[in-house]
């Protein structure tokens, strides 16, 4: 089983869903950024194909802190990976 990637975000390729059941919507893993990314993506694509994972804190990109509960709930809004 493979997972495809948007290649930097904003380029969710619907043709790739033929080959892979899920796509990583963005390289940005900050929980607060993911809210907007996943919400926008879900307007066009089903949640079952949006890759989302619980990430570490502080976030390695934004250095923001988020509770485990917040990260868990945002990851549930997609395919939920650890």
CA terminus-to-terminus distance, the chain: 16
Range ranked top by mean pLDDT from 11-15, 23-27, 52-56? 52-56
pLDDT in tens, 14-37: 888 888 888 888 888 899 999 998
Consecutive H or E run containing 79: none
81 falls in which pLDDT band (50, 70, 90)? confident
Span 54-74, mean pLDDT? 93
């Amino acid at each position: 089983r493979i997972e495809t990637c948007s290649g930097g975000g904003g380029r969710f390729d619907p043709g790739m869903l033929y080959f892979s059941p899920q796509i990583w919507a963005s390289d940005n893993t900050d929980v607060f950024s993911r809210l907007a990314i996943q919400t926008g993506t879900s307007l066009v694509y089903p949640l079952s194909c949006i890759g989302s994972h619980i990430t570490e804190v502080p976030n390695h990109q934004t250095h923001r802190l988020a509770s485990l509960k917040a990260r868990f709930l945002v990851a549930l809004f997609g395919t939920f990976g650890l």
